[in-house]
Amino acid sequence: IDLELKKSGTYRPTQPRLSRKEAMQQPIKKYYARKRSKSEIKVADRRNFYSNQSSKGKDMRLEKERYISLMENDGEEIKARSARKNMRDVALQPKKSRIEELEEEIEERMVFLGEMDALGQAAKYKSRITREVQEKKLEIAQLRLKSQTL
């Protein structure tokens, strides 16, 4: 009884101590975590989200988003605009042909090789880039041959 009143004391057991035989006969408790499906996780998250919302005052999630936008825009409050644009307003760029794409890639690789040459590092990349350029030129020739036969 004295131990129960002291801070460092422990309480007496409320249940009688079981012998090993009795303990082995009791059913095993399965409290360990199990794998949950994606839908179960979503349902639990949704339930927790709505249960943790405060009923009074401002919506804290919206306030947080507002403060984040204020910090990003140096204190200027910008109203949210509609992200959806009319398809008529958006001018679609004409799709490039494969030949034009390959020619641009060849030009990019040659510019890169020139930059590396200026830095004195061209020897590392020269053989690989020339091989890539040759492959792309071969592909261009094949595409042109196909387009002429059609």
> What is the pTM (predicted TM-score) of this model?
0.39
Is 137 part of a structural domain of the chain? yes
Is 28 part of a structural domain of the chain? no
Is 86 part of a structural domain of the chain? no
Is 75 part of a structural domain of the chain? yes
Question: Which residue in this structure is represented by tokens 């040659």?
Answer: 110
Per-residue confidence (pLDDT) for residue 33, from 0 to 100: 64
Is 88 part of a structural domain of the chain? no
Cα angle 106-112-115, degrees, rounded to a multiple of 5: 145
Question: Which residue in this structure is represented by tokens 């507002």?
Answer: 66
Q: What is the arithmetic mean of pLDDT over 117-137? A: 93
Average pLDDT, the chain: 79
Is 50 part of a structural domain of the chain? yes
Q: Are residues 105 and 75 in the same domain?
A: no
DSSP letter, residue 88: T
Tell me how many domains the chain contains: 2
Q: Which residue range is the domain that position 58 belongs to?
A: 38-79
pLDDT exceeds 70 at position 88 = no
Is 118 part of a structural domain of the chain? yes
Cβ 104 vs Cβ 111: under 8 Å:
no
Is 127 part of a structural domain of the chain? yes
Q: Are residues 74 and 103 in the same domain?
A: no
DSSP letter, residue 12: P
Q: What is the arithmetic mean of pLDDT over 31-42? A: 77
